[in-house]
Structure 1
Amino acid sequence: MAALSAADSEKLQKLQSAVSGLTQISENEKSGFINLVSRYLSGEAQHVDWSKIQTPTDEIVVPYDSMPPVPTDSAEVQQLLEKLVVLKLNGGLGTTMGCTGPKSVIEVRNGLTFLDLIVTQIETLNSKYGCNVPLLLMNSFNTHEDTQKIVEKYKNSKIEIHTFNQSQFPRLVIEDFMPLPCKGNSGKDGWYPPGHGDVFSALMNSGKLDALLSKGKEYVFVANSDNLGAIVDLKILNHLVKNKNEYCMEVTPKTLADVKGGTLISYEGKVQLLEIAQVPDEHVNEFKSIEKFKIFNTNNLWVNLNAIKRLVQENALKMEIIPNPKEVDGVKVLQLETAAGAAIKFFNQAIGSNVPRSRFLPVKASSDLLLVQSDLYTLADGLVTRNSARANPANPAIELGPEFKKVADFLKRFKSIPSIVELDSLKVSGDVWFGTGVTLKGKVTINAKSGEKLEIPDGAVLENKDINGLGDL
């Protein structure tokens, strides 16, 4: 780490004494925060030397199809699963989709939430193989209380559910580099969760890591709670156990929709995650090209628990810092965050696995909700599976106007979700409402003129249509 300048050292000392007086957070959180800030001030190199980047070989990013098949003996499968824990990142609120509370309680399909589906998947696995795969939920201070209440409804299910909180760090006031809570802003706005890179130390600090190790658990499968494709995959687990890989990041082929996603590279003999923020300006277009960087990170991660313990104890997980400037009540603040994928370079025998696109099905907006609620997918045992009747391997491109942004508004505007198995693209803008049993095919654009309400009638079949008013129906 570069030495701090005299001015920065003084800044850090002042910050340290201010933080020591904050009673809302633990000593672990205080030292974690100060550690992050001092790394940030020392200006650790964030950019990579472009000339040293190499495309990873198949040994490093293992093609999914080349992994050995899952053992056929169910006793062997049970043994494998007994080593596993599933951890869902549950710190996000559904605010972008107009919901209050954890995003994982948004209803995805048939009245079931993300969390309902996750619980059903693991229950099915446990009963099929007679194993005990527990579910861990990493909450933030924003989602903790709500999640505790929601988890109550699963108390009779055949699955152990544990929750723990990720760290809570004070937002930094940019002007004088002091913690926002010391400025009289003592509410939730004064704080932030420092990104999912915090998962490793939070697991350790919560005591959950040691508890899992004492039960003989060896691997944790970490994924975003809103990724419906992130289900337990025995093939990957089997590969990691056999090859003693401490870390595996699932990557999948990049499409034009994913050009900003992080990618895996070989760099100075190690596998490393390259994020767009680290790319020198003159190479950004090259980074976004799907010719040179063909894969992107799904944030489905498989990590060895003993390795996490070793690296956290050694304070070795120095992931790239992501500065995230915000404004709170007119005050400019800074959040310093890290991402779990960036930890790959610190683990031994770390690999990527180039998995099918079906393992990446996130719901980030109402347009994604339309996809997963439609006949493009079916639901069984908590698994959302692609309808084989669709010939095109890619999902339709869907763009819904701001009228559909909030989940409640989205649901109001569809009497029933249209059939989209043969749809290529849909663009909707203005005050548009859909009747029941509507079918959309090919390329469809629906644009309601300003001040006009446009209702698509029940049973309408729209194929390669441009609709700008009632007369076009």
Structure 2
Amino acid sequence: MATVALKAPEAEKISKLQSAVAGLNQISEKEKEGFINLVARYLSGEAQYIDWNKIQTPTTEVVVPYDGLAPSPDDISETKKLLDKLVVLKLNGGLGTTMGCTGPKSVIEVRNGLTFLDLIVIQIESLNSKYGCNVPLLLMNSFNTHDDTFKIVEKYSKSNVEIHTFNQSQYPRLVVEDFMPLPCKGQTGKDGWYPPGHGDIFSSLVNSGKLDALLAKGKEYVFIANSDNLGAIVDLKILNHLIENKNEYCMEVTPKTLADVKGGTLISYEGRVQLLEIAQVPDEHVSEFKSIEKFKIFNTNNLWVNLKAIKRLVEAEALKMEIIPNPKEVDGVKVLQLETAAGAAIRFFDHAIGINVPRSRFLPVKATSDLLLVQSDLYTLSDDGFVIRNEARSNPSNPTIELGPEFKKVGNFLSRFKAIPSIIELDSLKVTGDVWFGAGITLKGNVTIAAKSGEQLEIPDGVVLENKVINGPEDI
């Protein structure tokens, strides 16, 4: 275990914590070690302070424009060689609870009755069929999603995609009052534990044995993305560029809009490329960080990483990503979760770069308002599982959509729309109150629909609403 310099009171806390954690038989020795290490680093106060004056805007060598990438090879056998070096890994630890679903978020239906996971499998199936390659799919689950995912993937047993699952670490929540693990206080169920963020991916790949197995098969790169990002598809131009230039790490970034002002951005700092998150920004510079003028790009969390480099850095205990403290409350007890983010690892890899990709590679579904976008005529679904934006829309950005709490859960959302309206010419939609939509509706420009308190408002079949504010049937 890496040693961390601690003052006496903190060293005593760690000593007590080690004794307590030793008795937790639900987790492995590696997990216990990783957890203690994380807490020791947190207590040492080794937080990365950013000297604002040293921040530099990355050059185009560091953040490469996507248009400047060489085309991928035309030759099918050359493309097969490229793809045979690749593994696709989807972060599958999240539950669909914010959208009112139980189980893994990746099994929410997105379009035409197909789930996120169905689309991911179809995409890789078509690659493997077209090029005769073997790109495997790895799913990194958390203890929350493991059992369900294990059952769900059985339905793909006849596909030509090798699917592997593994669990990220499981760490005990810390009781703030005395820095003891919550499971030692009698909280033995799932609430006593947490998955420590996706920065844990690198050590979990190694600890699970998956990394060595992939290297033994000649795999060189892993493409990591959130399972709910419909734009995160395999890109041969990016893969080709990384192999040609021996880049150990690549973060896809995309131009910031006002909706993304809190997203992390890439900077050049003391000669290395680094992720700058809003939590690291001194208070007096937060508005500057959020401006689109100075920081023009943000992290999509689509990452490409060299597998041998992961092994080297994990074994050297060199991946000391910034710690994100996440305070929570469980049954009235204040607890702390210490987490890390995979994007923050960029500064530890050699020849790390960003690639400034088109916005189409960032299409996350975080709420039912996003589901409305991807289920509408703004997108179509291709046979090979790609969600493609309708060229009939001239505006490069998507409409902004705000749906009230009545639409928050997927079940409620679906029941309130007889059919999803046409939104190709929509700029913004805001819906509040008890609103129900008929079929064949077209929305254009800026539309606000607000049902009066205690009243139900039905938008009838076939209406066209353009630049309207609607509070009752008389406004339609």
TM-score w.r.t. length of structure 2: 0.99
Distance in 1, matches of 2:440 and 2:205, equals 47
Provide the residue aligned with 1:199 in structure 2: 201
Provide the residue aligned with 1:434 in structure 2: 437
The residue type paired with residue 266 of structure 1 is: S
Give the 3-state SS of the residue equivalent to 1:198 in structure 2: helix
Distance in 2, matches of 1:317 and 1:367, equals 36
Provide the residue aligned with 2:163 in structure 1: 161
Deviation at 1:5, TM superposition (A): 1.6
Provide the residue aligned with 2:471 in structure 1: 468
Q: Which of 402, 405, 411 matches 2:405?
A: 402
Deviation at 1:2, TM superposition (A): 6.9
Q: Does the Cα contact within 8 Å between 1:133 and 1:159 map onto a contact in 2?
A: yes
* Superposition map of 1:62-211 within 5 A: 62-211=64-213
Q: Does the Cα contact within 8 Å between 2:47 and 2:323 map onto a contact in 1?
A: no
Provide the residue aligned with 1:351 in structure 2: 353
Provide the residue aligned with 1:454 in structure 2: 457
Give the 3-state SS of the residue equivalent to 1:28 in structure 2: helix
Moved more, 359-368 or 45-54: 45-54
Q: Which of 438, 443, 447 matches 1:444?
A: 447
Q: Deviations over 1:326-380 (max 9, x none)?
A: 0000000000000000000000000000000000000000000000000000001
Q: Does the Cα contact within 8 Å between 1:2 and 1:44 map onto a contact in 2?
A: no
Distance in 1, matches of 2:47 and 2:279, equals 12
The residue type paired with residue 461 of structure 2 is: D
Q: Does the Cα contact within 8 Å between 2:87 and 2:135 map onto a contact in 1?
A: yes
Please tell me whether residue 419 in structure 1 is matched to residue 419 in structure 2.
no
Deviation at 1:290, TM superposition (A): 0.4
The residue type paired with residue 163 of structure 2 is: I
Query: Identity, % of aligned pairs?
Result: 83
Provide the residue aligned with 1:342 in structure 2: 344
Deviation at 1:45, TM superposition (A): 2.6
Q: Which runs of 5+ in 2 are unaligned?
A: none
Please tell me whether residue 388 in structure 1 is matched to residue 425 in structure 2.
no
The residue type paired with residue 397 of structure 1 is: T
Distance in 1, matches of 2:289 and 2:468, equals 35
Distance in 2, matches of 1:9 and 1:78, equals 53
Q: Which of 309, 324, 327 matches 1:325?
A: 327
Q: Which runs of 5+ in 1 are unaligned?
A: none
Distance in 2, matches of 1:48 and 1:184, equals 40
Provide the residue aligned with 2:13 in structure 1: 11
User: How many residues align structurally?
Assistant: 473
Q: Deviations over 1:122-165 (max 9, x none)?
A: 00000000000000000000000000000000000111000000
Provide the residue aligned with 2:35 in structure 1: 33
Distance in 2, matches of 1:3 and 1:109, equals 52
Give the 3-state SS of the residue equivalent to 2:391 in structure 1: coil
Q: Does the Cα contact within 8 Å between 1:438 and 1:458 map onto a contact in 2?
A: yes
* Superposition map of 1:236-315 within 5 A: 236-315=238-317
Give the 3-state SS of the residue equivalent to 1:391 in structure 2: coil
Distance in 1, matches of 2:336 and 2:5, equals 22
Deviation at 1:303, TM superposition (A): 0.1
Provide the residue aligned with 2:225 in structure 1: 223
The residue type paired with residue 453 of structure 1 is: Q
Give the 3-state SS of the residue equivalent to 2:135 in structure 1: coil
Give the 3-state SS of the residue equivalent to 1:194 in structure 2: coil
Deviation at 1:46, TM superposition (A): 2.9
Deviation at 1:248, TM superposition (A): 0.2
Deviation at 1:3, TM superposition (A): 2.9
Give the 3-state SS of the residue equivalent to 1:362 in structure 2: coil
The residue type paired with residue 35 of structure 2 is: F
Q: Deviations over 1:174-208 (max 9, x none)?
A: 00000000000000000000000000000000000
Give the 3-state SS of the residue equivalent to 1:394 in structure 2: coil
The residue type paired with residue 457 of structure 1 is: P
Distance in 2, matches of 1:309 and 1:9, equals 30
Distance in 1, matches of 2:297 and 2:128, equals 32
Q: Does the Cα contact within 8 Å between 2:4 and 2:40 map onto a contact in 1?
A: no
Give the 3-state SS of the residue equivalent to 1:465 in structure 2: strand
Q: Does the Cα contact within 8 Å between 1:263 and 1:275 map onto a contact in 2?
A: yes
The residue type paired with residue 387 of structure 1 is: N
Deviation at 1:10, TM superposition (A): 0.3
Distance in 2, matches of 1:342 and 1:466, equals 44
Q: Does the Cα contact within 8 Å between 1:2 and 1:43 map onto a contact in 2?
A: no
Q: Does the Cα contact within 8 Å between 2:250 and 2:305 map onto a contact in 1?
A: yes
TM-score w.r.t. length of structure 1: 1.00
Give the 3-state SS of the residue equivalent to 1:119 in structure 2: helix
Q: Does the Cα contact within 8 Å between 1:395 and 1:424 map onto a contact in 2?
A: yes
The residue type paired with residue 34 of structure 1 is: I
Give the 3-state SS of the residue equivalent to 2:33 in structure 1: helix
Q: What CA RMSD, in Å, does the superposition of the two structures yield over aligned residues?
A: 0.6
Q: Does the Cα contact within 8 Å between 1:258 and 1:296 map onto a contact in 2?
A: yes
